[in-house]
Amino acid sequence: MKILITYILCGLFLVACSSMELPTTEQSDTKIKQFTPEIDKANDYINAIMAKAVPTTKDINANIKLATLNKIANKLAYSKNDDIKIFFAKTNPIFSEHKSVLGINYNNYVNIDTGYVAMNLKYFNFDNFNNNRLDATIEIEGKGNIYVNGKYTGVPASVSPEIYLYLKESIQFDITPTDTGYIVLKPVPKQLTLKTKFSVKLLQWDLPWNQSVNLQLTDLIKSMPISIAFNSELTLPKPSAQFGGEQFTLEPYLIDFKNSSINSANKSIEFKSFFQIKPKK
Amino acid sequence: MKSKLISVLLFCSLIILLFSIESCSIVKKMAGADIDSLQFAKAREAKILEIRLNSIKKLKKRLENNSPIQNADMSFFISENVINNLAQCYIGSKGWLDATTSYTVDSVSLHILNGASILSIKMKANSSKFNVDVNMALDCLLDLEMVNNELITKIEPFNISPIVDARGILGASDEIISNLIKINLADIGNKFPPFKIPVDFANEFKINRTKTNIKDRINLSVISPDILLKYNIKIHEILMFDNRIYVAVNINNIDIH
């Protein structure tokens, strides 16, 4: 009896041992027949919409809005008040006049010794794309002091008047891609006019000064590389070849962007490139 | 009479037991590896299609809403070729499941579909402790979803094809081990939490210092200092379309140094 009960219990145990609950083949087939046409229908809808989107002709198609560049430009403008520093160098003379009184000849003159103005980039905005060029507006202004010396009626003197500088210009940048994941904004050469204004009172000599200094845009702003969010280096987590310690190690790789191109239209830039990855040695 | 009946019962049981052990059905049952291969494969196929249908419905719904897809600071279409380039970096990688079980990745490739992707992997595993080699080929359905500012990656294996070569003490257990692998991999979604990928990245670039000397009516030097621009890139959206992935990112926390 005990043996019989033991056998029955073993049999029940074996029957109870099951691996995993699975639907029957017929139940699975029913689901497959139901889901497949629904997936096909949704695919057709999505593919029809995406066919109208810009085709992906290269490995990476990046689209950057003009408003995004202005997020950065506006931050540059509002961040601090000494974006550009101007140091005045010796200028002999900035003004001179020849006088003759009772047969005595003399020169009145004013020289600049030194001076300093901290210029604030007050406004910087990218306005429009124009045939792969970017139109922008900059406004810079600042106040400081200059140290002048001179002679008036033969009497030497020196003063340090306040000087005011101002510049507002429309400028342009050429947009070029690089093979390191950047687009470069290169200023198109242009002569800018920096307006200077100060007033010198040297002894009894009142000398207002309102002149323009010519600058080249390329002297004021150099080429600006802007990252398109991809670094040219990448680290990938890979399983550790040695057991114990870290489960993953980080291995560096280099990204090569090949045959990069730029197209600008509709308030955005499109950057396209082919992509290759290789281990960094 | 009673003892004769018991003897007959014992004899029949012994015969049944011998047959069962030979066909491994008892061992299979006890190991939890008693599955029908066709039934299992069909069940996986149905499950994968169900997940694919849910993903593609979500994508369809997204395209139907009024927000255009290129509605972020920067957007990218990345081709399948790029992802496969990255996947190729893992070929030949060797890792360890435990102190005596190593694996090597033989091949990896990704095929991107509307709403989901299929990752195909071939690998070899070796257990030196139990003297078992497994050549494994499997496909995995990858689903990406942004949930509460986290990118969740779900993986569902299917088409699981382990080829087991067991030697020594487990020499007759190839089918059992193979079925156990299939069962465990099929249940991986329940056993492990979904992968979470960070969506926020710090980035920076530098504008170099310039100095220019000007000789004009007034002589002066114009100096602009080095500027380090720091900002965060945050993934706003990831969508999968046939043969390409769409990624939308926003730039924030811009800081000038």
> Tell me, what's the ipTM?
0.76
Q: What's the confidence (pLDDT) of residue B22? A: 46
Instruction: Give the closest of A215, A236, A243 to B96, CB-based.
Output: A243
Instruction: Give the closest of A28, A222, A225 to B45, CB-based.
Output: A28
Tokens 């991986």, located at residue: B188
**DSSP tag of A107:** E
Q: What's the confidence (pLDDT) of residue A189? A: 95
Which residues touch B48 (CB under 8 Å, ≥6 apart)?
Answer: B141, B156, B158
Q: Do A89 and B220 touch (CB under 8 A)?
A: yes
Higher pLDDT among residues B203 and A139, named by residue:
A139
Flag whether pLDDT at A46 surpasses 80: yes
Among candidate residues B182, B142, B146, the one with its CA nearest the CA of residue B37: B182
Structural contact between residues B215 and B68, judged by C-beta atoms closer than 8 angstroms: no
Q: Work out the angle at residue B124's Cα, subtended by the Cα atoms of residues B120 and B130, and round it to the nearest 5 degrees.
A: 140
**Which pair of tokens denotes residue B49?**
């299609």
Give the largest Cα separation in chain A, rounded. 152
Q: Do B49 and A85 touch (CB under 8 A)?
A: no
**Which pair of tokens denotes residue A93?**
């003379």
Give CA–CA dist B254/B228, Å, rounded: 10
Structural contact between residues B218 and B204, judged by C-beta atoms closer than 8 angstroms: no
Give CA–CA dist B57/A38, Å, rounded: 9
**Which pair of tokens denotes residue A265?**
């239209």
**Which pair of tokens denotes residue B32?**
């939890």
Q: What's the confidence (pLDDT) of residue A2? A: 62
User: What are the chain A neighbours of B78 within 8 Å (beta carbons)?
Assistant: 59-60
Give CA–CA dist A126/A175, Å, rounded: 12
Give CA–CA dist B225/B256, Å, rounded: 12
**Which pair of tokens denotes residue B185?**
């991999």
Flag whether pLDDT at A63 surpasses 80: yes
Q: What's the confidence (pLDDT) of residue A144? A: 93
Among candidate residues B224, B223, B226, the one with its CA nearest the CA of residue B206: B226
Give CA–CA dist B171/B24, Å, rounded: 12
Q: Do A25 and B32 touch (CB under 8 A)?
A: no
Give CA–CA dist A188/A192, Å, rounded: 12
Instruction: Give the closest of A47, A87, A279 to B221, CB-based.
Output: A87
Higher pLDDT among residues A237 and A144, named by residue:
A144
Instruction: Give the closest of A19, A38, A50 to B32, CB-based.
Output: A19
pLDDT mean over A249-258: 80
Q: Which long-range contacts (CB under 8 A, 24 or more apart) does A76-82 make?
A: A76/A121, A76/A124, A76/B227, A76/B229, A76/B256, A77/A121, A77/A122, A77/A123, A77/A124, A77/A125, A79/B256, A80/A120, A80/B256, A81/A118, A81/A120, A82/A118, A82/A119, A82/A120
Q: What's the confidence (pLDDT) of residue A135? A: 92
According to DSSP, the residues that pair with B154 across neighbouring strands are B143
Among candidate residues A70, A164, A160, the one with its CA nearest the CA of residue A120: A164
Q: Do A239 and B43 touch (CB under 8 A)?
A: no
Instruction: Give the closest of A62, A84, A275 to B74, CB-based.
Output: A62
Give CA–CA dist B114/A52, Å, rounded: 16
- Helix, strand, coil percentages, rounded to 5, for chain A: 20, 55, 20
Q: What's the confidence (pLDDT) of residue B71? A: 75
**Which pair of tokens denotes residue A112?**
């600049």
Give CA–CA dist B216/B108, Å, rounded: 65
Q: What's the confidence (pLDDT) of residue A4? A: 56
Q: Do A219 and B214 touch (CB under 8 A)?
A: yes
Q: Do B73 and A42 touch (CB under 8 A)?
A: no
Q: Do A86 and B221 touch (CB under 8 A)?
A: yes
Residue in A with minimal Cα distance to B213: A219
Q: What's the confidence (pLDDT) of residue A205? A: 82
Q: Euclidean distance between the first and final Cα of chain B, in Å?
A: 101
Give CA–CA dist A43/A30, Å, rounded: 21
CA distance A85 to chain B (A): 5
Q: Do B244 and A112 touch (CB under 8 A)?
A: no
Q: How confident is the model at residue A37 (pLDDT cuts 50, 70, 90)?
A: very high
Residue in A with minimal Cα distance to B51: A35
Instruction: Give the closest of A24, A63, A79 to B39, CB-based.
Output: A24
- Average pLDDT across chain A, whole number: 83
Strands (E), B72-199: 74-79, 94-98, 101-113, 116-127, 132-147, 150-166, 195-197
Q: What's the confidence (pLDDT) of residue B2? A: 65
Give CA–CA dist B6/B11, Å, rounded: 9
Among candidate residues A112, A131, A227, A239, the one with its CA nearest the CA of residue A181: A227
Give CA–CA dist B134/B106, Å, rounded: 12
Q: What's the confidence (pLDDT) of residue B32? A: 57
Q: Do B219 and A112 touch (CB under 8 A)?
A: yes
Give CA–CA dist B220/B218, Å, rounded: 6
Q: Do B227 and A76 touch (CB under 8 A)?
A: yes
Taking the CA atoms of chain B, what radius of gyration do you get in angstroms? Answer: 29
pLDDT truncated to tens, each residue of chain B (257 aa)? 667 676 666 666 655 555 555 445 555 555 556 677 788 888 888 988 998 999 999 999 988 876 677 678 988 898 998 888 888 888 888 887 777 878 888 998 899 999 999 988 888 888 887 778 888 888 888 888 777 777 787 778 887 777 777 666 666 667 767 776 776 666 666 655 666 666 777 777 777 788 888 887 788 898 988 888 888 888 888 899 999 999 888 988 888 88
Among candidate residues B164, B157, B165, the one with its CA nearest the CA of residue B183: B157
Tokens 């190839």, located at residue: B174
Q: Is B146 buried (19+), middle (13-18) or exposed (0-12) by CB count in 10 A? A: middle
Structural contact between residues B161 and B137, judged by C-beta atoms closer than 8 angstroms: yes
pLDDT mean over A195-207: 85
Give CA–CA dist B118/B52, Å, rounded: 10
**Which pair of tokens denotes residue A268?**
């955005």
Q: Is B24 left (phi over 0), alpha (psi -120 to 50) or beta?
A: left
Q: How confident is the model at residue A32 (pLDDT cuts 50, 70, 90)?
A: very high
Interchain CB contacts (distance < 8 Å): A and B: 246
Q: What's the confidence (pLDDT) of residue B34? A: 67
